[in-house]
Structure 1
Amino acid sequence: MNVFYNKWYKNHALVYKVLLFIVTTLFIVYLFPKTGKFKYSFEKGKPWQSENLYAPFNFAIKKSAKEIKEEKAEITSRSLVYFELDKAVEQNVLSDYLARFNQVFIESNDFVSDKSDLYKKGQSIIKKLYDQGVLDLEYKYDDDRVVKLATANKVEKEVQYGSLYELSTLRGHIEADLGNAFPVEIKKRMVSIFFDVIQPNISLNETLTNKALEEELSRLSLTRGRVEKDQLIISKGQVIEEPQYDILSSLKSEYESQEWNTANYNWVLVSYTVLVALTLLMLLLFLQKYRNEVFLNNTKVTFIFFNIALMILITSLVVNVNSQFIYIVPLCIMPLVLKAFFDARLGLFTHVLTVLLLGFVVPNSYEYMFLQIIAGMVTILTVSELYKRANLFISVGQITLIYIIAYFAFFVIHEGQLTGLKLETFGLFVLCGLATLFVQPLIYIYEKIFGLVSDVSLLELSDTNTKLLKELSNRAPGTFHHSLNVANLAESSANEIGANAMLVRVGALYHDIGKMNNPTYFTENQSTALNPHDELSSKESAKIIIDHTIKGIEIAKKYKLPDRVIDFIRTHHGTSLVYYFYMKEKATNENVDVNDFRYPGPTPFSKETAILMMCDSVEAASKSLKEPTSTKINEFVENIINKQMENGQFLNADITFKEIQSIKKVLKSKLANIYHLRIEYPE
């Protein structure tokens, strides 16, 4: 059991990566469409590029969405419409008419001749109205549309919609029927009577109407024709016209149909899993070979896998809702984020792999992948110094422009003309660019969640007004001044060899914060001739000097400095000796233990930490130069750095001899400028 636990402990990082790999693979496969994928790409009006295509099985030719829409519209326009007829309304209206007529004419003192004829005329008008029917509302049907009048779900008769009376047209019909046989005043009173008593007796029966429409639509055929197995669909080089396009679309639909049997469905899942696993495996191999420090850090590997899964998740959700909005997903955020935390090469490699995986999710995958890969390249090439807001806005504008230009070119290639170009798509690209600006707060969120450090955070840490640096300047002003000088030297050296100048500058500013605990024990902070080391033994003095790295780490953790910055505090002396006190002790004690005078390390393990070690040693020792000349400075720099190389301080750092020579050159030039040296001319 102990052997098992020991193996688990030794390989727990690898086991974690395997589990992360499996979980991410399964999650991405879960997001993929659970169907087969048609292996051919085709466009209407373009030649068929593949070999002769024969039908692999029997299938029906599906009607296009446009055809189905037109047929549905036609069915809707001619389907039966049912109205509810209320026969009791006519009798009620006649009763009300009698009462109202008597009130207006019989009881009135106005003299009206032939009241009986007038009354009968009104009755005939009412009978005529209700023989046809009076509608309760105005409906949007054509006048020649056949409608059925029903009572208690029993059809009474069929009429044309135009023969029914609408309330808004009653005045005209009544006045026409009254004619000129009666005086104008009588006609006005009769019209007012009708408006008081007339009530609609016909209303739309939505239940029967909708049921009739559904029955008609249910008989609509979604297919037209059939293709038999082994039938030639299209020949190589043949232009894809409307008939061939419909057949190919139907075949593609069959492949991507949900009606797959269990065996085929399982094979589809297995195939997806293999392809996703291969893609993620390529990423892990890339990290192991070219970014081993990232590969060994499980947090960073998790961060990269999380971003891939997140982008695929967001894109899948958008495709499921409406695939027309896929270009609104700001996929270029991922290379921006990865470049901010790691480097451009890793960001582009991961972006390309993610786009390849998204090819299984999005429609028109080739066009999508081309646009996104080009946009990713532009992102990597244009975005520099992300902490500068102007740079981000300029880069986002360039990315949006590339999207628009590339999409425009694809549209012209597909359509052969500009007619039908949708400006809404360009608006989606603009929204995508605006969404890309969210990268700034996203980087901050990632820093807090995953404990990573970006250039934005480094810029904040480089501010000398931060609480920790202000405390350093107050308690150890000499050390603070030394740190500023080292930061300037280190930044110039990093720029010379292409290292992370911002990171090494921040590391230089904080590398000696441990000296705040005992500032007077370090020469740069001694303002008087008194030296507290005179009262201590060499071993005690060495311990105080060595402890400033350990104290610095404690202070850095207290102030929650990032681990990448703490690495500079830990490594800036490597495993070198406190040489002065070691030689002083050795002069009186031949059996001195060298480990008592050696820094605990570790040695620098990156270009940036190696640069800091060189610049720190050179700047500190340069204070002892008397009457410096160019020759003295050159020999001085060479001796210090060569001694560090001989002691193996740079064996773990990824730095070359050529880069070390470049750093020496920068340090010599900077020191010459500091001491205001001129060129030494031969006598």
Structure 2
Amino acid sequence: MFPKGGHFKYEFQKGKPWQYENYYAPFDFAIQKTKVEIEAEKKKLRENSKLYLEYDEGIAIAVKDNIQKRVNKVLNASDLDASEKENILTVVDGIVADVYEYGLFNVVNYHKIDKDIVTLKRGNMVQDIQPYKLFKTDNNLKYINSKIGVQPLTEVENTLLNILFEELKPNVELNEELTLKALEESLSAISLTKGLVAEKERIIFKGDIVEGEKLAVLESIKNEFESQVWSKSNYNWIVFGYILLVALAFLMLLLFLRKYRVEIFENNNKVTFIFFNILLVVFLTTLIVKFNAEFVYAVPIVILPLVLKAFFDARLGMFTHVLTVLLLGFIVPNSFEFLFLQIIAGIVTILTISELYKRANLFISVLQITIVYFVVYFAFSIIQEGNASNLDWAKFGYFALNGAATLFVIPLIYVFEILFSLVSDESLKELSNTNSKLLRELAEKAPGTFQHSLQVANLAEACANEVHANSMLVRTGALYHDIGKMANPMFFTENQSTSVNPHDELTPRDSGQIIINHIIDGVELAKKNRLPDRIIDFIRTHHGTSLVYYFYKKEEEIEGRAVDKKYFQYPGPIPFSKETAILMMCDSVEAASKSLKEPSAQVIDGLVEKVVNSQMENGQFMNADITFKELQTIKKVLKKKLKNIYHLRIEYPE
């Protein structure tokens, strides 16, 4: 997809000093005219191009014959003498001769004649004439009237007037095909060059300002280098060079993933997704450049960091965006301007869009990105041109088109979710709706568990916001973490509305197994309802490898000795992300708080410390990317929220 030509090794900008050593021509080359110069020549040619009119001799002959026959018939029926008839015939022949000397033109098409001189084609003969020499259909009657006689006209003269008016037909029309062909020949003959630079001739001194003739010569030699198609002698070397550069860029991305995003690096599907998006952007940009390089700024490249941020995080999105833009620098014209513009736009994209699932955020961010494009292009233009009078207003239109195309990111994210089995914040928003099928079913079958899940979701979301975790992800995971309890809702205390406890009829080991099975049942139910893997992770990890402590202790009391923990231990795995660790803490603390008889501030503080410290001591957070500072922050949030929930209310009078 990279250019199949050479590469000019120097970078330069209009209006900036030449920063390299004195530069001499390495070979003979022609100085190319600028687009402005070529367009000016084309405009001049269009203004001076010939307008061809086609003279139809057949119509003129036919009209003369018809008029002669009808006039002779009228004269033969009249009582005029021979001399009078001869005079009338002379007048009629003179009128016809005058009208068809240069031809009769239809006035409807007269507005198309915008030249002072037109070319009249009569068979194989052409002659240049002034347009006013043509007779027009709208002034025929007046001319005939002036030639026939003096008012009032006799009956014969009136008859002759009518015959001439009826029979005179237009025989000249525009020959658009010939006119266009002549113009195209003139345009194709325009020279694209305006001089020659000889080998070893000085082009520019170090420190000279790149403008005027120097700019034209530098642009010409740059184009000369880039137009040199790969040959058999240098093909392998150029391809090898490109391979090294691209491999280096991809290696940097893989090293970033390996060092800072291990869970992504070890997931082939996610790595494939990232590289697929890079190739997609490069491919789209290449197509646009090959079609028309002027449209390159209409390519919505900032969709790349948007998509990666939606599925992963802002840092990965920005890192990938920068590497991709560096690769595009080989493909696009004005690479420095392009790199600066797109990197700034990428930074603005990452900084402005915090929650993509909120449509207002996306529209506001796209507007800000478009404004940044405008400002950066305006700055580059006034630096290069020295004023604001030569702005290319078409580019502002391309930037607006770019912004409109960026809004396509929402349906694109949906497509990627299907193709790569990923989940974005937009999907999490839909899943967190309590009116969804599975959550409605949970509310009906296990209302106590549903209320518990809501409380845990609120606590987890508040904690996630404080430690800058994905609050939407952890809230959604909290709402679904206990859906496995729907299989046996009455075996869980929050759903027991009577004093009857089904565990009284079971052994502690059987009861413990039923409690543990809500993890397995939840995973199966989630897969059956096609919940994303990121949500299933919360179901699997929210108890980690902890014990069903109540029934474990009860079994010890019955046996009178230590029992094997494996019968009372959750299958795990332990939490492996900040979000899953937050859910484990919130779930345990919320459940434990229900057992408090007098939930004072001191008791709540002690409960939170006890539960979280116990999980830490049992190694439940060993695989989670969470710090001690974040754990302290989460504890503070949990204490504050629980105190708000269990605060004392005033007693209302009866």
Question: Which TM-score tier does this pair reach, normalised by the shorter chain?
Answer: 0.7 to 0.9
1:532 partner letter: P
1:168 equivalent in alignment to 2:123: no
Q: Structure 1 87/659 Cα, relative in aligned 2: closer, same or farther at 3 Å? A: closer
1:206-605, aligned counterparts within 5 Å? 220-257=190-227, 259-587=229-557, 588=559, 590=561, 592-605=563-576
Q: What is the DSSP-based 3-state SS (H/G/I as helix, E as strand, rest coil) of the residue aligned with 2:485?
A: helix
Quote the Cα distance in structure 2 between the aligned partners of 1:409 and 1:387: 33
Q: Are the aligned partners of 2:370 and 2:399 in contact in 1 as well (CA < 8 Å)?
A: yes
Question: Which one of 586, 597, 617 corresponds to residue 588 of structure 2?
Answer: 617
Question: Which one of 637, 640, 645 corresponds to residue 608 of structure 2?
Answer: 637
Q: Structure 1 178/403 Cα, relative in aligned 2: closer, same or farther at 3 Å? A: same
2:358 partner letter: K
Q: Structure 1 563/120 Cα, relative in aligned 2: closer, same or farther at 3 Å? A: same
Quote the Cα distance in structure 1 between the aligned partners of 2:230 and 2:626: 57
Deviations 1:26-68 (A, max 9, x none): xxxx2x3322233334444543333211111111222334444
Which segment is superposed worse, 622-631 or 308-317?
622-631
Q: What is the DSSP-based 3-state SS (H/G/I as helix, E as strand, rest coil) of the residue aligned with 1:263?
A: coil
Partner of 2:652: none
Quote the Cα distance in structure 2 between the aligned partners of 1:621 and 1:400: 51
Q: Structure 1 95/278 Cα, relative in aligned 2: closer, same or farther at 3 Å? A: same
Give the Å deviation of 1:428: 3.4
Q: Are the aligned partners of 1:47 and 1:239 in contact in 2 as well (CA < 8 Å)?
A: yes
Give the Å deviation of 1:492: 2.4
Quote the Cα distance in structure 2 between the aligned partners of 1:503 and 1:379: 21
Deviations 1:625-662 (A, max 9, x none): 34344444333333322222222211111112222222
Quote the Cα distance in structure 2 between the aligned partners of 1:296 and 1:207: 66
Q: Structure 1 222/329 Cα, relative in aligned 2: closer, same or farther at 3 Å? A: closer
1:169-208, aligned counterparts within 5 Å? 171=140, 175=144, 178=147, 184=153, 189-198=159-168
Unaligned runs of 5+ in 1: 1-29, 679-683
Q: Structure 1 420/591 Cα, relative in aligned 2: closer, same or farther at 3 Å? A: closer
1:332 partner letter: V
Q: Are the aligned partners of 2:310 and 2:424 in contact in 1 as well (CA < 8 Å)?
A: yes
Give the Å deviation of 1:70: 4.7
Q: What is the DSSP-based 3-state SS (H/G/I as helix, E as strand, rest coil) of the residue aligned with 1:225?
A: strand
Quote the Cα distance in structure 2 between the aligned partners of 1:232 and 1:386: 55
Deviations 1:598-638 (A, max 9, x none): 11111111111112222222222233334344444333333
Give the Å deviation of 1:258: 5.4
Q: Are the aligned partners of 1:80 and 1:147 in contact in 2 as well (CA < 8 Å)?
A: no
Q: What is the DSSP-based 3-state SS (H/G/I as helix, E as strand, rest coil) of the residue aligned with 2:233?
A: helix
Q: Structure 1 214/483 Cα, relative in aligned 2: closer, same or farther at 3 Å? A: closer
Deviations 1:421-464 (A, max 9, x none): 34443343333333322322332232222222222222222222
Q: Structure 1 198/448 Cα, relative in aligned 2: closer, same or farther at 3 Å? A: same
Q: What is the DSSP-based 3-state SS (H/G/I as helix, E as strand, rest coil) of the residue aligned with 1:491?
A: helix
Q: Structure 1 68/517 Cα, relative in aligned 2: closer, same or farther at 3 Å? A: closer
Q: What is the DSSP-based 3-state SS (H/G/I as helix, E as strand, rest coil) of the residue aligned with 1:262?
A: coil
Q: How many residues align?
A: 644
Q: Are the aligned partners of 2:484 and 2:519 in contact in 1 as well (CA < 8 Å)?
A: yes
Q: What is the DSSP-based 3-state SS (H/G/I as helix, E as strand, rest coil) of the residue aligned with 1:56?
A: coil
Q: Structure 1 191/236 Cα, relative in aligned 2: closer, same or farther at 3 Å? A: farther
Partner of 1:672: 643
Give the Å deviation of 1:564: 0.9
Q: Are the aligned partners of 1:34 and 1:269 in contact in 2 as well (CA < 8 Å)?
A: no
Which segment is superposed worse, 358-367 or 593-602?
358-367
Partner of 1:21: none
2:297 partner letter: Y
Give the Å deviation of 1:490: 2.0
Q: Are the aligned partners of 1:148 and 1:158 in contact in 2 as well (CA < 8 Å)?
A: yes
Q: What is the DSSP-based 3-state SS (H/G/I as helix, E as strand, rest coil) of the residue aligned with 1:114?
A: helix
Question: Which one of 69, 84, 90 corresponds to residue 99 of structure 1?
Answer: 69
Quote the Cα distance in structure 2 between the aligned partners of 1:98 and 1:168: 20
Quote the Cα distance in structure 2 between the aligned partners of 1:146 and 1:530: 109
Give the Å deviation of 1:116: 0.8
Give the Å deviation of 1:548: 0.9
1:60 equivalent in alignment to 2:5: no
Q: What is the DSSP-based 3-state SS (H/G/I as helix, E as strand, rest coil) of the residue aligned with 1:61?
A: strand
Which segment is superposed worse, 593-602 or 389-398?
389-398
1:623 partner letter: K
Quote the Cα distance in structure 2 between the aligned partners of 1:214 and 1:321: 22
Quote the Cα distance in structure 1 between the aligned partners of 2:314 and 2:261: 12
Give the Å deviation of 1:145: 5.2
Q: Structure 1 293/170 Cα, relative in aligned 2: closer, same or farther at 3 Å? A: same
1:40 equivalent in alignment to 2:22: no
Q: Are the aligned partners of 1:147 and 1:161 in contact in 2 as well (CA < 8 Å)?
A: no
Q: Are the aligned partners of 1:630 and 1:677 in contact in 2 as well (CA < 8 Å)?
A: no
Q: Structure 1 55/199 Cα, relative in aligned 2: closer, same or farther at 3 Å? A: same
Quote the Cα distance in structure 2 between the aligned partners of 1:346 and 1:629: 44
Give the Å deviation of 1:290: 0.9
Q: Structure 1 254/530 Cα, relative in aligned 2: closer, same or farther at 3 Å? A: same
Quote the Cα distance in structure 2 between the aligned partners of 1:124 and 1:166: 14
Q: What is the DSSP-based 3-state SS (H/G/I as helix, E as strand, rest coil) of the residue aligned with 1:366?
A: helix
Which segment is superposed worse, 364-373 or 604-613?
364-373
1:168 partner letter: T
Q: Structure 1 142/626 Cα, relative in aligned 2: closer, same or farther at 3 Å? A: closer
Q: TM-score, normalised by structure 1?
A: 0.84
Q: Structure 1 638/92 Cα, relative in aligned 2: closer, same or farther at 3 Å? A: closer
Give the % identical residues: 57
Quote the Cα distance in structure 2 between the aligned partners of 1:65 and 1:520: 81
Quote the Cα distance in structure 2 between the aligned partners of 1:300 and 1:227: 53
Quote the Cα distance in structure 2 between the aligned partners of 1:415 and 1:223: 23
Deviations 1:221-250 (A, max 9, x none): 433322111111111222334322222222
Give the Å deviation of 1:220: 4.6
Q: Are the aligned partners of 2:281 and 2:301 in contact in 1 as well (CA < 8 Å)?
A: yes
Q: Structure 1 116/448 Cα, relative in aligned 2: closer, same or farther at 3 Å? A: same
Give the Å deviation of 1:565: 1.0
Give the Å deviation of 1:570: 0.4
Q: What is the DSSP-based 3-state SS (H/G/I as helix, E as strand, rest coil) of the residue aligned with 1:226?
A: strand
Quote the Cα distance in structure 2 between the aligned partners of 1:402 and 1:70: 33
Deviations 1:338-379 (A, max 9, x none): 212111111111122222222223222222222221121111
Q: Structure 1 187/522 Cα, relative in aligned 2: closer, same or farther at 3 Å? A: same
